[in-house]
């Protein structure tokens, strides 16, 4: 019998990277293609933390500093039309780490719509 997604997720612990504020070329308008804009990124990494809880050793866990550095390097050098694409690339970075079983990525573009604080997309993927 196959487990549903909620059952699968219940097996995993979470590491969160909250409110990572970066700048990149993002958007379809001419001015957006030449001026970097703010994007706000939130990432939830689903993994099993039972071993690092016992060993207190980073090699048994997810090095979230390394994940953050990879995200920063990609985002700050990127040039995408859509925040959907940017979020998708962040998902790829996260899932490339063997200890990460699933990821939720939210990318917000502050000020993208008049009268709205931001517009965002959220992508969830399981390996």
Q: With cut-offs at 50, 70 and 90, classify the pLDDT of residue 119.
A: very high
Give the domain range for residue 116. 5-126
Q: Give dist(CA 73, CA 65) in Å, integer.
A: 12
The 10s digit of each residue's pLDDT in 56-85 is 999 999 999 999 999 999 999 999 999 999
Q: How many CA atoms lie within 13 A of 61 on its CB side?
A: 18
Q: Count of domains in the chain?
A: 1
Q: List active site positions.
A: 109
pTM of the model: 0.91
Order of strands across the sheet with 37-47? Answer: 79-80, 13-26, 37-47, 102-110, 118-126
Model pLDDT for residues 1-21, shown as the tens digit of each residue: 456 766 777 778 999 999 999
CATH at 17: 3.30.1130.10
């Amino acid at each position: 019998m196959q487990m549903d997604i909620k059952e699968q997720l219940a097996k995993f612990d979470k590491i969160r990277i909250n409110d990572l504020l970066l700048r990149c070329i993002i958007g379809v308008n001419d001015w957006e293609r030449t001026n970097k804009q703010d994007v706000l990124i939130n990432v939830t990494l689903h993994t099993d933390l039972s071993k690092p809880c016992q060993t207190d050793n980073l090699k048994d866990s997810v090095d979230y500093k390394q994940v953050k550095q990879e995200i920063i390097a990609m985002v700050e050098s990127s040039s995408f039309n859509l925040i959907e694409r940017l979020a998708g690339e962040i998902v790829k970075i996260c899932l490339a780490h063997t200890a990460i079983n699933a990821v939720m990525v939210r990318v917000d573009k502050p000020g993208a719509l008049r009268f709205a604080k931001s517009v965002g997309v959220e992508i969830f993927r399981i390996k």
